[in-house]
Structure 1
Amino acid sequence: MTKSSKERRKSAASLVTTQKRRLPFYKKFALQSFGFQLSDVLTNENYSADFIDTRADFILGRLRVMALLFAVFVPLSFVFDLVFLEAKQYQPLLVARLLLAISLFTFVCFCKRNNIRLATTWLLPLAFLLPTLFYVASEVIIHHGTNQEFLAGYDLMPYLIVAMLALFPLTISRSVMVLTLVFIPCLLLKIYTGEVFTLAALNQFWAFSMFSGITIWLQTGQLTMLLKLYRESTIDPLTGLINRRVLVKRLEKEKQQGNLFSLMIFDLDKFKRINDDYGHLTGDLVLASIAKVLTAQLRDDDIIARFGGEEFVAVLANQTASEAFHVAERIRKACENTVIRDKDDNIIKVTTSVGLTQYVTGEDIDSTLNRADELLYKAKSSGRNKVVCQ
């Protein structure tokens, strides 16, 4: 390993350590006790749009398989109804089975990749509500006059539904919502049958709570691992910005949706001289500081990424090149006015050159990036510390 790569690893590690030291007490406690921050697993408010789509796509794949299995095996198990039930029971139960199968097959057909945001919002709760309603209907149909050994198989269905929920990396809030959707019909069933205050019902509610707790814990583990792998593969550890691969993915999505956007490439002027004069650790400090400046100057809906080396890319949604020019100028001035002090109290000032262009509908993303790169070259070759726009 070269000296510079060792220094970069130390710098990244020191930045991570600094961030951990600055964490509030309750976040430190969560990290030390559970191995993750509670804010990461409670809700999805802190997730990036790309991670939300990635997780939704992952959930959608499993959801389709689960729904397909239910749709196939629920009608097939009608054979047992024919053996153990009377005609007045298995006939309405067959109707319930067919309705569930048709609903789930329709559900599978509706689960397309262009609807991945619906996966965790509506489709997943619906996928667990449908089998629960079937369970309630089947219990009402066969509750009276049936031997208890046959009913035992149906009594296990709510626990099977809860156990299958553990297959999905949901946040705690979303998981509690789905579990509530499963629990309420089961509770109403007990009220209908007059068993809500019996010892058997209380035992079932207790078992449901235990299964739910285990399910939430397993989901939390899945979600934490998924977040960790995602962040390691998509986030630049030095600046905290998304990397080039995620940037291109986001740009392709903007293109597919037909959105208007402008793109600018920033390059720090004479950055090599900073590395040569002050060392790579100071160079890393400059990159991290400029990344914060860029982030502070942009909106939440804008995209900012480290493109490689000392280059950054910003994507301004719903802005023409002329509108984005004012933003680029503001960022250029903010970088020019930023004062950075290294560990030896050296004062470093840095300027940036910017190439700015607007996406042309229908063109390849590579063409947009290449055009911005050419404009950046013009800015560098014509004196640096300026914005060149087309």
Structure 2
Amino acid sequence: MTERIYAKYWIETPFPVAMAAEVMAGEQSSGTFTRLANETDELRAAHGARVESIVELDDVADPSLPIRPLPADMRGSARFRRAEVVLSWPLANLGPSLPNLLATVAGNLFELREFSGLRLLDLTLPPAFADAYRGPQFGISGTRELVGVASGPLIGTIIKPSVGLSPAQTAGLVRELVEAGIDFIKDDELQANGPHNPLTERVDAVMRVINEHAERSGKKAMYAFNITGEIDEMRRHHDYVVAAGGSCVMATLNAVGLPGVAALRSHSEVPIHGHRAGWGLFSRSPHIGISYIAYQKLWRLAGVDHLHVNGLRNKFSEPDDSVIASARECQTPMFAAPKPGCTVMPVFSSAQSAEQAADTYAALGNTDLIYCCGGGIFAHPGGVAGGIASLRQAWEAAALGVPLDVHAERHPELAQAIRTFRK
């Protein structure tokens, strides 16, 4: 049987749903707005997208998104029907190519005049994609091995202020963090190779601190240096990080694109930390865009090892159930053996502190994650050391099933965090 690509969508249309689904299929494969002489039945059978299923949902009186004026006979009486639709394409149309997959499943169809809402919900890909792309090199187990943390979450943070610090000032913060026992540190997505804090100078200053601390203590924190840039620039900066003893690089996914991440993965010797800055452009509206369930599969195949998923009670607009669903999906294999299913480590961040640890553990059911706290560490009354201690104590309470307030009675750093961050 011909290998096929499957994509699931939510749609809203004033037209008959079956007709609208056929318009999608035609636009994204062999068809155009009218039938062509050389679009033979044989060609359509071999290369046309198929409507695999339609599940009709509710309907509404008004369009969710702006839509072209309806035909005169529909005005005033149209209902906007909603449905879940699955389309499929033969792999032969594009081959196992992530850039061309994106153009196929999330291309012009968002602009089609037949729709007042359209959202890509999920993707199911044939094994040829697993053969064509490297996927994560380290993932959860490899990251744990590099950091030396066999169980429990990796406690992490982000350098703040995001921009404005010099390399020496950045290294000063890192010194505080590693001496307090942090597992993971990352650059902010806004700080890559700016003139006030050049990447190479930052690497020199930061890795001097990390390496010296590792020699003294035997614990080497992982620092994700933001090397986002042109492809050749990312390769050069990756090599500089590795030569200095660094164990992680970071790329802003939407900025460098799928080919950029795939090129970095083919070159990289260390984990790639994937930051999803700009994600709200795809996710904020429920009526258009891409679900994280589909989105993260593309980046996992391209080769990232860590993926941001937001956090519970975050400072952004994403609800908690979406955050947990995203994290679970990152940990769910996409393919069978021999590849380990392209699982990656979810990164929880955005206004996180000791307060969310128990709920995160209860909802996710495991600790295979990076728990990144900025203010939850730096704004702790006990300083950086107190902030990090409070996080470890909170996750310890969660794993033991002990209520946070009870555990805080014997752990002063946790008690301080509760008083400071509880809303």
Structure with greater strand percent:
2
Give the TM interval when normalised to the shorter protein. under 0.3
TM-score scaled by length of structure 1: 0.21
Structure with greater helix percent:
1
Greater C-alpha Rg: 1
TM-score scaled by length of structure 2: 0.20
